[in-house]
Amino acid sequence: MKALVYHGPGKKSWEEKPKPIIMEPTDAVVKIFKTTICGTDLHIMKGDLPAVTDGRIIGHEGVGIIEEVGDSVSNFKKGDHVIISCITSCGKCEYCKKAMYSHCEKGGWILGNLIDGTQAEYVRIPYADNSLYPIPAGADEEALVMLSDILPTGFECGVLNGKVKPGDTIAIVGAGPIGMAALLTAQFYTPAEIIMIDMDDNRLNVAKTFGATHVINSGKEDAVAKVMSLTHNKGVDTAIEAVGVAATFELCEKIVGAGAHIANIGVHGKSVTLHLETLWSQNITITTRLVDTVTTPMLFKTVQSGKLDPKKLITHRFRLDQIIEAYDTFEHAAKEKALKVILTN
């Protein structure tokens, strides 16, 4: 089969790899129908995630059709359409029992990281019963790709950890797909003001149509001064970091008010400066989280009912064998006016 293979920082190729096979009775092999590229894949390509080694097939999002299941898989059979969760979970270990699937002793975020991932014609999914979700007939499968990672990530790591409440003023730093997923799902809780901060005018304009009440281009204006003027010098109740660089985490530290939450989502490859000299007295909570995907079934219902429309995050469509071009588009998102790119096998 063909797959997108990582060969060290900055190096990737679309090449021939062996088709995956069932290795454990709890495995399924899934034929990829649609997949996508995540900001995390760009971090991998930058070399921010050294656990990803030369030869790895990357990608951790997608929908597909079950090709084969191991003997002990009972929820799925050949031919079933499924959402692949970016998090693999056994459902039985101490962490799974606490609904912290991200730290499953046998899984967690392994797909496209420690084991081969979804940017391929086929993928092996360990613990298939707990790591795949069924797609009912007639569902919009393209929209459901957003349930693999970005919707649960924006919601769990950003909105839930950030304790967004009715009437709050929140800021989301980063208007990529993850920041946009936080923007869409924050509105379950009707915050009064949502300030979106990025350096990409196109993404900021899209954010306005998705419900942002204010947008700030931090490359062109002083984001701290603007947030302070919008909040009558009080700062925001929640700052969600959805980029993964020091500058944006440090921006969150500067725009939070007393009692606020800083909810980090970004994958960080470098250290950041923690300004405890200004924050120690401000009753601030800082949270970090690897997405658990425990809210996937709930989010699935909001998508199916039309309350949430993640399809509007998709801006570009490619064939799977055009994936190098798709990376180029996603890497140059501002120029290409790109959000989520969809690859169809």
Ligand X SMILES: NC(=O)c1ccc[n+]([C@@H]2O[C@H](COP(=O)([O-])OP(=O)(O)OC[C@H]3O[C@@H](n4cnc5c(N)ncnc54)[C@H](O)[C@@H]3O)[C@@H](O)[C@H]2O)c1
Q: Which residues sit at the interface with ligand X, rule CB under 6 A?
A: 38-40, 42-43, 149, 153, 157, 173-179, 197-200, 203, 218, 242-245, 247-248, 265-267, 289-291, 333
- What minimum distance in Å lies between the beta carbon of 88 and Zn ion? 9
Is residue 239 within the footprint of Zn ion (CB under 5 A)? no
- Of 1 and 228, the one with the shorter C-beta distance to ligand X is 228
Pairing of strands 236-241, 256-264: parallel
Sign of the C-alpha dihedral computed for residues 330, 334, 340 and 345 taken in this order: negative
Out of Zn ion, ligand X, none, which partner does residue 303 contact, by CB within 5 to 8 A per kind? none
Per-residue contact track with Zn ion, 28 to 47, x per CB under 5 A? ----------x-x-------
Q: Which pair of structure tokens corresponds to residue 205?
A: 């304009």
DSSP sequence for 77-101? -TT-EEEEPSSB--S-SHHHHTT-G
- Of 197 and 239, the one with the shorter C-beta distance to ligand X is 197
Is residue 146 within the footprint of Zn ion (CB under 5 A)? no
Q: Which of 186, 180, 275 is nearest to 224 (CA)?
A: 275
Q: Which ranges of the chain would DSSP assign to H, the alpha helix?
A: 39-46, 94-97, 128-131, 141-144, 150-153, 177-186, 201-209, 223-230, 246-255, 276-279, 296-304, 323-331, 333-336
- What minimum distance in Å lies between the beta carbon of 56 and ligand X? 16
How far, in Å, CA of 253 to CA of 244, rounded? Answer: 14
- Of 168 and 200, the one with the shorter C-beta distance to ligand X is 200
Out of Zn ion, ligand X, none, which partner does residue 175 contact, by CB within 5 to 8 A per kind? ligand X
How far, in Å, CA of 297 to CA of 259, rounded? Answer: 31
Is residue 4 within the footprint of Zn ion (CB under 5 A)? no
- Of 130 and 153, the one with the shorter C-beta distance to ligand X is 153
- Of 75 and 287, the one with the shorter C-beta distance to ligand X is 287
Residues 6+ apart with CB under 8 A from 48: 244, 267, 268, 269, 270
Is residue 149 within the footprint of Zn ion (CB under 5 A)? yes
Out of Zn ion, ligand X, none, which partner does residue 178 contact, by CB within 5 to 8 A per kind? ligand X
- What minimum distance in Å lies between the beta carbon of 150 and Zn ion? 7
- Of 120 and 341, the one with the shorter C-beta distance to ligand X is 341
Contact pick of 45, 52, 96, 265 for Zn ion (by CB under 5 A): 96
- What minimum distance in Å lies between the beta carbon of 36 and ligand X? 9
Q: Which of 39, 62, 31 is nearest to 142 (CA)?
A: 62
